[in-house]
Structure 1
Amino acid sequence: MNSKKINILEFPSNLGLKKTASETEPGVINLPEWFEKHGLHSKIKPEQIFRLETPAYSMDFDEESGVRNTNKIIEYAKKQSELLSEKLKDDFFQIIIGGDCSILIGNSIALKQKGNYGLFFLDGHTDFITPELSGTAGAAGMDLAIVTGYGHNKLTNIFNLKPYFQEKNVFCVGNREYDEDYVRPILKSEIEYFDLKSLRKNGLRKTAYQFLKLVEEQNLDGFLVHLDVDVLNDNIMPAVDSREIDGLFYNELSELLKPLLASKKAIGIEITILDPNLDEDGKYTIEFVKQFAELLEYGKAST
């Protein structure tokens, strides 16, 4: 982000998740307050903080799209895109706090309205499936597919902007759900895909620089980083809804993100899925806040 000033945008939607039997609603809705309680806002010292309240949680299934809460997600995405569009300025870096991964939809719309952007999608899952493959019908597990134009037009073609990202301008990095049926759709796409094993083999820093080269060669207006914290190793970040063994350690995350955050083309990063209900004493959140704040300080120093 170089020497850009920082805004925090709070988009605490949990509409993309199916609640468990023991939940009233998914706890990710409380992530912005949880981060603030554990020092993220005070460490970052943003210029301004903006918040967009989400529609009331439900598990309504939309027959037309095959996705839960479709109409509420669309309503929220439109409001998100309006707010983010207002804040997208060359001298600002946006830290966008979810919520679940469905917040990517509104953020993607804002970027498509502004120009031609890339996406560095860092996640323990590909999120590149259509409703037919989903076991939950939750948009949070389909967000990458939706923003690249796969699925029903209700979600993929809001404001007639389909696709919000061109596949060739997307890197999907860190997946560790290796089931053949699950990864087949992304392997057939034009997305540059590195699962966790191939990411480590290719080299983390090298992968980041390959993406930055793409941004330069395609003359993109900028790029967004999507960070689902379930990309982290399960031992250091178990406070997520869909756990998998293995995952990135903080030194690996740092190696990957430092070049990206130091780029003038980076417009922001969205953070999703950390569930305060699954980290009752704040142990995992405190360490994440510490590590993330250090990454941002590196970005400021790399002018």
Structure 2
Amino acid sequence: MGRRVRIIGAPTDYGTNRRGVDMGPSAIRYAGLADDLEAADVTCRDVGDLAVPRMEERDPDTEKPPAGTARFLRETRDVCTVLADHVADSIDEGATPLALGGDHSIAIGSLAGSSRDAAIGAIWFDAHGDFNTPTTSPSGNVHGMPLAAALGVGDFAADEYAWTDAPGLAAEHVALVGLRSLDEDERDALRDSDVTAFTMSDIDQRGIASVVDDALAVATDGTDGIHVSLDLDWLDPTVAPGVGTPVRGGVTYREAHLAMEAVSRSGSLRSMELVEVNPVLDEHNETAALAVELAASAFGKRVL
């Protein structure tokens, strides 16, 4: 067998205001994740889910935070610090961590763990920039903040947010692919940063292969490997209906596979996460099944 993969479930919906993504890890497993990865010559070890208190056990005082704060930040911190340790331990033991969300806030933990002892790049396949901060976010939902948090942008530069830091990740080694929905302040922050951003217009004009090749060049330049963050709302809702924040005009089924195949061919994949699968909003578990297919492509599954 080839690569070893460690599957880590992070069933959290703290970062969003829609119920259901906490069931994402179960839906992805049910869709045949282990079998598809093994078909890609991968040895899987599933370590189960992190212990995440249910919605009903949350502190109600964090439901509607005042302006300039983030919802359920304490709970998100608790999940992400544990996930970071699992990701780092997996890499130390020679396995590639594959985190299953849950909402996109789990990326704070994935990036912190993956970059703990190495310089890494990151490719963010997402309709959204995830570059808000507690001050700029219109909603206070942390799933719109993980990339800014990992890079220490704005509010996240304060000592109280030290747990969000991804020490081996620099903005110049981050590429966003497929953007089509940004908040105004978030847009300004991205323009002022060293992050490379490719919108859906770039994909339309240049093609997915060219854009992903450029993203890989950004993320692999002088780094020890890359983290791939795959939000299923990156795809068009007609292909991936089971997501909490769908945006029309996303990538197609084949474009998504081509992108993951390019990631695999690069030989640079260090860690990965699949996020924002919401079985409550899905149709016959097809979004979870698509997540499984794309993960298999990223880890080397081919037609021939």
TM range (shorter): 0.7 to 0.9
Q: 1:267 aligns with which of 244, 256, 270?
A: 270
SS in 2 for 1:124: coil
C-alpha distance in structure 2 between counterparts of 1:56 and 1:284, whole Å: 23
Match of 1:157 in 2: 162
In the TM superposition, what is the alpha-carbon distance from 1:264 to its structure 2 partner? Answer: 2.7
In the TM superposition, what is the alpha-carbon distance from 1:238 to its structure 2 partner? Answer: 1.9
In the TM superposition, what is the alpha-carbon distance from 1:91 to its structure 2 partner? Answer: 4.5
In the TM superposition, 1:242-253 aligns within 5 A as: 242-253=245-256
Q: 1:48 aligns with which of 45, 49, 52?
A: 45
In the TM superposition, 1:49-68 aligns within 5 A as: 49-50=46-47, 51-57=49-55, 58=58, 60=62, 61=64, 66-68=69-71
Match of 1:16 in 2: 15
| Superposition TM-score, scaled by structure 1 size | 0.86
Relative to structure 1, is the Cα distance of residues 108 and 125 closer, same or farther in structure 2, using a 3 angstrom cutoff?
Answer: same
C-alpha distance in structure 2 between counterparts of 1:226 and 1:246, whole Å: 19
In the TM superposition, 1:63-82 aligns within 5 A as: 66-82=69-85
How much is the aligned-residue C-alpha RMSD, in angstroms?
Answer: 2.7
C-alpha distance in structure 1 between counterparts of 2:37 and 2:233, whole Å: 22
Relative to structure 1, is the Cα distance of residues 206 and 221 closer, same or farther in structure 2, using a 3 angstrom cutoff?
Answer: same
C-alpha distance in structure 1 between counterparts of 2:102 and 2:16, whole Å: 10
Q: Which moved more, 1:66-75 or 1:281-290?
A: 281-290
Amino acid aligned to 1:49:
D
Relative to structure 1, is the Cα distance of residues 297 and 162 closer, same or farther in structure 2, using a 3 angstrom cutoff?
Answer: closer
Identity of aligned residues (%): 22
Q: 1:173 aligns with which of 169, 173, 177?
A: 177
- Contact 1:40 1:289 (C-alpha < 8 Å) held by counterparts: yes
Match of 1:239 in 2: 242
Match of 1:22 in 2: none
Match of 1:83 in 2: 86
Match of 1:139 in 2: 142
SS in 1 for 2:215: helix
Unaligned segments of structure 2, at least 5 residues: none
Amino acid aligned to 1:13:
T
Q: 1:28-67 CA deviation, whole Å, 9 max, x = no partner?
A: 1111111222222332244311221213333615559600
Q: Which moved more, 1:74-83 or 1:258-267?
A: 258-267
Match of 1:6 in 2: 5
Alignment of 1:185 with 2:182, yes or no, is no
Which stretches of structure 1, 4 residues or more, deviate above 6 A after TM superposition?
none
C-alpha distance in structure 1 between counterparts of 2:139 and 2:302, whole Å: 37
Q: 1:58-81 CA deviation, whole Å, 9 max, x = no partner?
A: 361555960011111111111111
Q: 2:284 aligns with which of 265, 277, 281?
A: 281
Relative to structure 1, is the Cα distance of residues 179 and 105 closer, same or farther in structure 2, using a 3 angstrom cutoff?
Answer: closer
- Contact 2:118 2:168 (C-alpha < 8 Å) held by counterparts: no
Q: 1:72-128 CA deviation, whole Å, 9 max, x = no partner?
A: 111111111111111114853322110000001111111232211111011011111
C-alpha distance in structure 2 between counterparts of 1:13 and 1:235, whole Å: 25
In the TM superposition, 1:195-234 aligns within 5 A as: 195-217=199-221, 219-234=222-237
In the TM superposition, what is the alpha-carbon distance from 1:134 to its structure 2 partner? Answer: 1.9
In the TM superposition, 1:118-137 aligns within 5 A as: 118-137=121-140
In the TM superposition, what is the alpha-carbon distance from 1:299 to its structure 2 partner? Answer: 6.9
- Contact 1:126 1:172 (C-alpha < 8 Å) held by counterparts: yes
Relative to structure 1, is the Cα distance of residues 155 and 192 closer, same or farther in structure 2, using a 3 angstrom cutoff?
Answer: farther
| Superposition TM-score, scaled by structure 2 size | 0.86
In the TM superposition, what is the alpha-carbon distance from 1:245 to its structure 2 partner? Answer: 1.2
Q: 1:117 aligns with which of 116, 120, 127?
A: 120
C-alpha distance in structure 1 between counterparts of 2:238 and 2:136, whole Å: 28
In the TM superposition, what is the alpha-carbon distance from 1:209 to its structure 2 partner? Answer: 2.2
C-alpha distance in structure 1 between counterparts of 2:129 and 2:112, whole Å: 20
